[in-house]
Amino acid sequence: MESNNTEPFLSKRDERLGLMIWYRLSRVYNQNIRDTQQHLKKWNLSAAQFDMLAQVGAHDRLTQQQLADKLFVTKGNITQLLSKLEDLGWVKREQEWKTKYVSLTAKGRALFNDVVPVQEQFQASQYNGLNREEKKQLVDLLKKIQN
Identify the CATH number of the domain in which residue 31 sits. 1.10.10.10
pTM of the model: 0.77
Q: How many domains, in total, are found in the chain? A: 1
Between CA 27 and CA 35 the distance in angstroms is 12
* DSSP 8-state symbol, 72: T
Domain, as residue range, for 53 = 12-146
Predicted pLDDT at 6: 46
Classify residue 5: in a domain, yes or no.
no
User: Residue 123 pLDDT > 70, yes or no?
Assistant: yes
Classify residue 130: in a domain, yes or no.
yes
Predicted pLDDT at 9: 73
Classify residue 121: in a domain, yes or no.
yes
Average pLDDT, the chain: 88
Dihedral angle of Cα 134, 28, 112, 53, to the nearest 10 degrees: 120
Q: What is the pLDDT of residues 41-94, one digit of tens each?
A: 999 999 889 999 999 999 988 988 888 888 888 777 788 889 899 999 999 999
Classify residue 7: in a domain, yes or no.
no
